[in-house]
Amino acid sequence: MASNLYQQIEQLYDASSGLWEQIWGEHMHHGYYGRDGKYKINRRQAQIDLIEELLYWGKIDKAKKIVDIGCGIGGSTLFLAQKYQAKAQGITLSPQQAKRATERAKEAGLAERVSFQVADALQMPFADNSFDLVWSLESGEHMSDKTKFLQECYRVLQPGGKLVMATWCHRPTNSLAGELTADEQKHLKEIYRVYCLPYVISLPEYEAIALNCGFQNIRTDDWSIGVAPFWDVVIGSAFTPQAIIGLLGSGWQTIEAALSLSLMSRGYERGLIRFGLLVGEK
């Protein structure tokens, strides 16, 4: 299953990343529109604000060695390296993303301290205790084994270092709403199929896994309201003439992903999809 999933993820991002950069820029993640989701700012600024707000929320004052898990074309990696004057490494399953991220590091004059490679986040090619900041911005949802993923994050983290993670979740099932309904499960399965996800879990489940892995001083938060407007912004920009021309040349998988953007928008509207945050220390 994992090898087939990895191939699907690689194909999706190999095909779509160039178009995403052309239309939307270097950041391949949600934007942040304030706690109430009502800030009126442009999409790119909202994406930068998400990074800054995560760092503030995670109380990241400094970092010397960073790994960005699921780095895309290096948007967050380069941002963090510049902000903290740090060394950084990014990993992705997409050779095209790694290649483009490497080019962008050279263009930014950061090639000596920022590097990118194709690697499996469940078997990271790094020694124990390698980084003082493990950064995972919207990559956890792609992991076929959430426990193994957090174990690896813990392994490569230095004592005293922090994991900062933001990931797609489904709503908690330990509340009055109860277990996921058949219709909710059907909705999730469509999202999984289109965006090459094995499954997602709830934020309380992530917290329990992190605790079992040994993380300390764990904090979590739900920023669903703050990021939900992002999908309507993307939907509005996905069907401009420039985007349509790019979509037509990027293959069916990318076209289907664009046509299915409303799956995420509706998921937030009905409270099924959640944007979960977790920070923990080693």
Distances (CA, A) of 274 to 119, 138, 187: 27, 12, 14
Interacting residues of 27 by C-beta distance below 8 A, sequence separation 6+: 44, 47, 48, 51, 72, 75, 76
pTM: 0.90
User: What average pLDDT does range 177-193 have in this prediction?
Assistant: 94
pLDDT value at 65 more than 80: yes
Distances (CA, A) of 253 to 16, 172, 225: 8, 30, 28
Q: Beta strands 87-92 and 65-69: pairing type?
A: parallel
Distances (CA, A) of 159 to 69, 85, 274: 19, 21, 30
Q: Measure the CA–CA gap between 205 and 173, rounded to whole angstroms.
A: 10
Q: Residue 203, class by beta-carbon neighbours within 10 Å (0-12 exposed, 13-18 middle, 19+ buried)?
A: buried
- Pick the more confident residue, 195 or 211: 211
- What six digits make up the tokens of 254? 């990318």
Closest C-alpha among 101, 143, 96 to residue 124: 143
- What six digits make up the tokens of 150? 């957090």
Angle at 167 between CA 273 and CA 159, to 5 degrees: 150
pLDDT value at 255 more than 60: no
Q: What is the pLDDT of residues 112-145, one digit of tens each?
A: 999 999 999 999 999 999 999 999 999 999 999 9
Supply the range of the domain harboring residue 129. Answer: 2-281
The tally of domains found in the chain comes to 1
Give the domain CATH number at 51.
3.40.50.150
Q: What is the pLDDT of residues 77-100, one digit of tens each?
A: 999 999 999 999 999 999 999 999
Q: What is the pLDDT of residues 229-244, one digit of tens each?
A: 988 877 666 556 565 5
Closest C-alpha among 23, 56, 94 to residue 279: 56
